[in-house]
Structure 1
Amino acid sequence: VHVVVDPAIGKVLRPHQVEGVRFLYNCTTGKCVENAYGAIMADEMGLGKTLQCITLLWTLLCQSPNPGKSEINKAIIVCPSSLVRNWMKELLHWIGKDRINLLVCDGSLGTKEQTLKILSSFASAKGRVVTPVLIISYESLRTYIEALHNTDTIGLMLCDEGHRLKNQDSLTYKALNEIHTKRRVILTGTPIQNDLTEYFSLINFANPGLLGTSQEFRRKYEIPILRGRDSESTDKEKEIGEERLKELLEITNKFTIRRTSDLLSKYLPLKYEYVVFCRLSDYQLNIYKEFVKSDKIKGLISGKNAQTLKAITTLKKLCNHPSLVDLDEYNIKVEKPERTSTIINTSSRRRSTHREDDPSPEDSGKLALLDNMISMIRHTSDDKIVLISNYTKTLELFELLCRVRNYQCVRLDGSMTPKKKMKIVEEFNKPESPIFIFLLSSKAGGCGLNLIGANRLILFDPDWNPANDMQALARIWREGQQKTCYIYRFIATGTVEEKIFQRQAHKQSISSCVVDEDEDVERHFSRKDLKKLFEFNENTLSDTHDTFKCTRCVRGRQVFKPPEVNGTNQGDTSFWNHYSEYELHKIPDKILRECGKGIITYAFQTKSQEQISK
C-alpha cells in the first residue's frame, strides 16, 4: 500500500518541505542506509523543520505499507523547556485538536511522584494508544528517565534544537541514549558549533556506530580535515583533508538533509544584512588602551583560563559601554570628557538630557549609533525593532535608553516562564501593538522565537559561538513576515569584538565545509591568528576587512562589485559589499547612511534574492 501524507497537512507543504518529509520517511524506515534508522534534519532556520517533522510523525503514527497497520504507535518529542508549549501548539494546529491527544510534561502533571507514574504508564502502554505523543524538555527527561528507559515501545524520538546533543559525555546525551528507539531524528539549524567532534556526537546519536568510535572518527576524519583547512597547510595536507571530507560526506549525506534559507527568498520579502563596524568614543578608546596595557591584564593573560576569560568579558562589556565596567578593579584612571562629543550626531545630542538616569550614549560608539538609528526609525517609519545582547547589564542599559526617550519596549530573558514568554511574543507581533522595541537576551531568546512583528533587528554584540548569533539573527525573516527586513550586527572597530567575529568565520567555514559541502569558503585565518585577542588595532577601519586581503577594494574604496552569492556563501562576509567610511553615501540603507556619520568605519552588506512568488 502506498504511504501518503494526510491531505490536511499535505496541501500546505511547500515543495522543499514535501522533499524533506519524503527524505525523513525513507531514513526512518531504513531505506537510506542499511540497518540505520536515524536522520538529521539540518535545514537552516525558517524553512519549517517543525512542520516537516510533525508531518513525518503523523504519517508514521497513522500508516505503513502494510494495510491497517501503522509504522509506530508512540513518539517522544524532546526540546528546550521554552519550546514545549510551542510544540504542543504546532501539533494541535496542524493535526487538529480532535484528532490527536498529547501528553505534555511542562510541570502541569502534578508532583514528581505523580509525574513519574503518568510517564511510566505512557512508556508501558502497548499497541494503539489513546495518547501517542509525549512532549518533554531535555531537563525533565533527565529527571524522569527511570520511567522511560525500560521500554521498547517508543517508535520515534524527535530531538529539537538537537545541538544540545553535541557532547556525548553530557548527562543529557546519556539520558536520551537510554531510550530504546532506533528511529531518532535530530532537528538543528546549526549542526556544527565548535568542532567536528560535536558533529560526530550528533551522527553517532542518530545512527550509533555508523562512523566507528570517537577515537576512530578523530583519527580518520577530524584531524586530516582540520589540518587541510588550516591556511598554513601544505598542498598534500589539503589534498588528504579534501579526500577524507568527501568520504565523510558520502556517508553522512545519506541521512542528513540541509537546505539553506536561500529557499525562503521565493516566499519572503527582501532581507538586507549589515555588519557595521563602529568607532570607539574617545572615552572608550582611552579606557581600552589603558586596560590592554595594564599590569593586571598582562598578568591575567599569562594566568589561568577563567581569569583570562574574565578579562575578555570585561573588554567585551567595555565595547558596549564604559559604564558596564568596574574601572577601579583594574586601577584605570581615565578622565571623562565633556558631555558634548564629536562622535554623536547633533540630532541625538539635542535629545540627550542631563538627568541622573541618562544612559550617556555619547560615551559609546555603538550606543551612539543605536540611539541615532532608533530615533530616525521612530520618526520616519512604522517599523518595529528587535534589539539583542548577550549581557543582562546591556539590556538594562537599553531599557534605560527607552525610558529616557519614551519608547515603549518589552524585555524577554531567561527568568521568564515559557507561558509568559509566549504571551509577550504574541502581544508584540500584533500589528496594532504599541510596543516599539523588543529587548532580547541572545541566550534566552535565540531558539525558535518568531518575532515577525518587527522588521529591523540589531545584534549589539557578537557571541563566541556563531550558532548563537545565527539563531538570534533568524528571528524576524521567517514565515509570515510582510515587510522588507533589515538586520544589523554591530562590531566595535579594532577591538576584541572583531577577533570574535573573525573566529566565528573560522568556525563557520568548518560548518560550511562539512554540512553545506561548500568548497568555496576561503581559508581566511590560521590558528595562530586566533590568539591575538588582546591586541588593539587603533589604526584600522576594519581589522576583519584587513584579514580578507580583499582584492575588490583599493585604499578603502570598493572598485569591483562582489560576485553573485548563492546559498552557502551567503554568510561569508568577504563576498559581501564593503563600504568604508569614505563611501558611506553608497550604503543602500538611508537610516545607516544618515546616522553613521563619524561613527561607522566600515559596513559589509548583502541582500537576499528577489521574491519570486507569494
Structure 2
Amino acid sequence: MGHRDLNPFVSDGILMGEDDDLSCGGYDFRIDRYTPPSGRRDKKDFGESYSRIFDQIQFQDATGNPSSLSIHAGETVWDLIHDTKSKLYPHQREGFEFMWKNIAGDIFIEKLKRPLSDDGNGCIISHAPGTGKTRLTIVFLQAFMNQYPMCRPVIIAPRGMLLTWEDEFRKWNVDIPFHNLNKLELSAEENAISAKIIGQVGCRGRSRDYIRFVKVTSWLTSSSILGVSYPLFEKLAGDRQQKGQHDQIRKYLLNSPGLLVLDEGHTPRSDQSLTWKALTSVATSRRIMLSGTPFQNNIEELYNTLCLVHPKFADRIDEIHPSCKRGRPRINKDRGKRGTLTKFIGETTDDRLMKLRTMIDPFVHVHKGTILQESLPGLRDSLVFLRPSELQKALLEIASKAKSFFQEVCWVSLISIHPSLVAEEEMFSAYKSEIERTESTIDAGVKTKFVTKLIWLADALGERVLVFSEFLDPLVFIKQQLQSQFSWNEGREVLYMDGKLDQNQRQYSIRSFNDESSEAKVLLASQKACSEGINLVGASRVVLLDTAWNPSVERQAISRAYRLGQKKVVHVYRLITSGTVEVQKYASQAQKDRISQLIFSPTDGPTCHSEASKIVSEDKVFEALVDDKSLSPIFEKIIHQPKAFDMIDTFDFTDLKL
C-alpha cells in the first residue's frame, strides 16, 4: 500500500531520546517518559498513567491520509485489489460495489472524496447465511484501507466469532493487522508496542486493562483493524461504566473509528439494550451491517436495526408519513417514528410491506442464497412431528398448568426431549419415581430416541451429525448417553460446545469436527452460542431438538452446515412434539418468515432455503428410521421441504401482532 507518513508528535516541551521512537505498521509515534506515582499503584494510578500516555499521542483523523498511489482516469475500486474480482461470486461482486456506493459514494476512484467526507452512509449486506459475507467484507476492507489507510475500521461481532475473523484473515493471506480486544494474549505487533509502553506505565505484569490499552494504542497508531465483542464494546464504550474507568478507551472507541462493521448486526436490536445505545453513540455514520436474517421478531426491532445502521432512515419515515411532531426529546421522537412505521405497516398487508421494502432498497443488498443452490449438492428439510410417550403426556399435562407461559414453554421443551430433564422440579413430584427410572433409558424420550438412532445410522454411512438445542441440560444428557451406550469419548467422537467453552477450545472443536481425518461423529451445540457465524460443514445432518419462536434462529443454525464449502447433501430434522406449544411456536415462525420474505426477498427467484436448494428425493437414513418397527409408532406426521407460505394455512394461524 502506498501509505503516507502519519507524522504524529508529542506535547510541546517534552524531550524524547532517540530510543523512545517506536515504529508501528509503517508509522511512528512517540511517548513521553512518564513517571507513574511512587508507592502502591492501584487501578486508579494505572488508569491515570494510561490516560496520560493517550493524551500525549496525536493521532491523524480517521477521515484523512488517503493513499498516495497514483490515480489513472477510469480506474475503479477494483483496481485497488488486483486479481480479486474474478475470484468472487457474482453476488459478492455486486455487494462489493454496493458497499462502496453507500460508504464512500462511488466506485470510480477519481470521484471519491479525499480525504473521506463525513457524509457517508451505512448499508446492510443481507446475504443468506453461508454465502460468504465474511470473505466479501474482508475484500472490501482491503480495498477501502488501500484507499484510506488510516480509516481505523472496527469489527463488532458475537464473542465466539472473533477468532473466526482472525482465521479468515489468515486464510486469505490478508496482511492487515487485526487486534482482537477480547483476546488476553498480545500479537507480535502488539508486543512491540508493549515493550515501549510498559516502562512508561510502570506496572508489573500484564493486567487485562493494560492489554486492552496496548491493543487500542496499536490500532490507533497503525493501519489496522480492531475487533471486539458486543458485550465488551458496551462495557468499554457504554454509559454504565464507572466514571473515570476506561474514559480514554471509551472516547477513542466512540470517536476514532472511520468505519464500523457489525457482524450478525441484528444482535443489538432492542433500543432498550445498553449495547444498542452504545453503538448509536459512535460518531461515524459509515456502518456496514452483516446479517442474513435482519428481520427477527417484529417491526419495532426491525426499525431499531435500520436506524442503527442508517440513522437517516428515521428522517425518511418523516418524509413519507410526517405524523411525528418535532420538538420532543430525542428518545420520544425516535419512539414516535417507530410507532409511525408500525402504523405505516399497519396490519402487515402485502402492499404495505412492499412499500417498506422500497424505502430500504437503497441501503439494503439482498442475496437469498441462489449461489448455494448452484454450488452445493442439496438440502432436504423435514418437519418431524413426534408422539410423546405416556409418561411424557402426563408430564406435559402438568406443565400446561404452569403459573407462567414462559415456564410452560421451558418445561414443554425439556419434557419433550426426555422426562428426566425435569426430575428435580417440585411440580412433577407425583411422578418422581417413574421419572427416576428413566434416567438411564434414552428411549424414554421420543426426541432422544430419534437422535441416538439417527447418530448411529449416520455413523455407519460415515456421516456426522450436528445437534442443536436451546437448553444445555439436554445436550449434556445426550452426551452422557452416547458415552455410555457407544463407549465414545468427549473430545474425540463426541464434541460439545456452549457459551462457556474457552475460545481456543471452541476453535479446536470446530476444526476437529470439520477435519475429515478426525474421529468426530457428533457435535452437540448450544443454539444461542453456536448457531451464528461459524463453519460446521463437517456435518451432513442437522437436528433441531426444540423449536424457537424466531425463524432466523433455526435458519442460522442450519446454515452452519448448509454453506459454501459443503460437499454433501445436508439433511435437516426439525423435531416437534405433537399437541404442545411447540406447534404454536412453529406456526409463529411461519408467519414471521413470511413477513421477512416479503421485505427482504428479491422480486424473483427462490426465497428460502427449502426453495433455493436442489431437490433431494431420498434419505436412506430417515427411511430406515421410519421403517424401524421400534420407532415407527413415534412418528405422527412428516412434512418435507416446508415453505413458510404453505405453513400458515397448514397451522390455521392467525396474524401475528407486530
Q: TM-score, with normalisation over the residues of structure 2?
A: 0.70
Cα deviation 1:376-415 (Å, max 9, x = unaligned): 2233x11111111111110122112211221431111111
- Whole-Å separation in 2 of the counterparts to 1:124 and 1:480: 36
Cα gap change, 1:334 to 1:138, in 2 (>3 Å): closer
Other-structure match for 2:283: 180
- Whole-Å separation in 2 of the counterparts to 1:243 and 1:567: 20
Other-structure match for 1:365: 446
Other-structure match for 1:234: none
| 8 Å Cα contact 2:544/2:575 also seen in 1 | yes
**1:279 maps to 2:387:** yes
| 8 Å Cα contact 2:179/2:219 also seen in 1 | no
Given candidates 210, 217, 227, the residue that maps to 1:114 is: 210
- Whole-Å separation in 2 of the counterparts to 1:8 and 1:356: 65
Report the Cα offset of residue 136 of structure 1. 1.6
Q: How many residues align?
A: 502
- Whole-Å separation in 2 of the counterparts to 1:478 and 1:569: 13
Cα gap change, 1:586 to 1:467, in 2 (>3 Å): closer
Other-structure match for 2:233: 141
Aligned pairs for 1:296-307 (under 5 A) are 297=402, 300=403, 307=404
Query: Which amino acid in structure 2 is aligned with residue 385 of structure 1?
Result: V
Report the Cα offset of residue 474 of structure 1. 1.1
2:525 counterpart SS class: strand
| 8 Å Cα contact 1:258/1:516 also seen in 2 | yes
**1:101 maps to 2:177:** yes
Cα deviation 1:47-83 (Å, max 9, x = unaligned): 11111111111111113xxxxxx38632111111111
- Whole-Å separation in 1 of the counterparts to 2:585 and 2:406: 13
Given candidates 588, 607, 612, the residue that maps to 1:503 is: 588
**1:446 maps to 2:544:** no
Q: CA RMSD in A?
A: 3.2
**1:27 maps to 2:95:** no
Query: Which amino acid in structure 2 is aligned with residue 211 of structure 1?
Result: A
2:358 counterpart SS class: helix
Structure 2's unaligned 5+ residue stretches are 1-72, 108-117, 187-205, 238-246, 316-332, 644-658
Report the Cα offset of residue 357 of structure 1. 9.1
| 8 Å Cα contact 1:77/1:136 also seen in 2 | yes
Cα gap change, 1:513 to 1:501, in 2 (>3 Å): same
Query: Which amino acid in structure 1 is aligned with residue 472 of structure 2?
Result: T
Report the Cα offset of residue 278 of structure 1. 0.6
| 8 Å Cα contact 1:455/1:476 also seen in 2 | yes
Given candidates 139, 149, 166, the residue that maps to 1:88 is: 166
Cα gap change, 1:53 to 1:314, in 2 (>3 Å): same
- Whole-Å separation in 2 of the counterparts to 1:178 and 1:157: 12
Aligned pairs for 1:190-589 (under 5 A) are 190-212=293-315, 213-225=333-345, 227-229=346-348, 238=349, 242-292=350-400, 297=402, 300=403, 307-326=404-423, 329-330=426-427, 333-334=430-431, 359-379=440-460, 381-406=461-486, 407=488, 408-516=493-601, 567-568=606-607, 570=609, 589=622
- Whole-Å separation in 2 of the counterparts to 1:132 and 1:308: 49
Query: Which amino acid in structure 1 is aligned with residue 92 of structure 2?
Result: Q
- Whole-Å separation in 2 of the counterparts to 1:219 and 1:81: 32
2:641 counterpart SS class: strand
Cα deviation 1:516-569 (Å, max 9, x = unaligned): 2679xxxxxxxxxxxxxxxxxxxxxxxxxxxxxxxxxxxxxxxxxxxxxx5215
2:583 counterpart SS class: helix
Cα gap change, 1:219 to 1:435, in 2 (>3 Å): closer
Cα gap change, 1:487 to 1:124, in 2 (>3 Å): closer
- Whole-Å separation in 2 of the counterparts to 1:509 and 1:436: 35
- Whole-Å separation in 1 of the counterparts to 2:266 and 2:440: 37
Cα gap change, 1:218 to 1:179, in 2 (>3 Å): closer
Deviates more, 1:82-91 or 1:210-219: 210-219
Q: TM-score, with normalisation over the residues of structure 1?
A: 0.75
- Whole-Å separation in 1 of the counterparts to 2:582 and 2:392: 14
| 8 Å Cα contact 1:74/1:155 also seen in 2 | yes
1:253 counterpart SS class: helix
- Whole-Å separation in 2 of the counterparts to 1:500 and 1:28: 39
Cα gap change, 1:155 to 1:576, in 2 (>3 Å): closer
Report the Cα offset of residue 284 of structure 1. 1.1
- Whole-Å separation in 2 of the counterparts to 1:187 and 1:586: 34
Cα gap change, 1:586 to 1:405, in 2 (>3 Å): closer
Query: Which amino acid in structure 2 is aligned with residue 203 of structure 1?
Result: L
- Whole-Å separation in 2 of the counterparts to 1:220 and 1:508: 23
Query: Which amino acid in structure 1 is aligned with residue 89 of structure 2?
Result: R
| 8 Å Cα contact 1:268/1:479 also seen in 2 | yes
- Whole-Å separation in 1 of the counterparts to 2:399 and 2:416: 12
1:163 counterpart SS class: coil
| 8 Å Cα contact 1:358/1:401 also seen in 2 | no
Query: Which amino acid in structure 1 is aligned with residue 417 of structure 2?
Result: N
Query: Which amino acid in structure 1 is aligned with residue 363 of structure 2?
Result: F
2:77 counterpart SS class: coil
2:88 counterpart SS class: coil
Structure 1's unaligned 5+ residue stretches are 64-69, 230-237, 301-306, 340-354, 520-565, 580-584, 609-614
Report the Cα offset of residue 46 of structure 1. 0.6
| 8 Å Cα contact 1:221/1:245 also seen in 2 | no
Cα deviation 1:459-511 (Å, max 9, x = unaligned): 11112322222221111111221112111111111111111111111222222
2:510 counterpart SS class: helix
| 8 Å Cα contact 1:387/1:440 also seen in 2 | yes
Other-structure match for 1:349: none
| 8 Å Cα contact 1:270/1:607 also seen in 2 | no
Deviates more, 1:212-221 or 1:161-170: 212-221
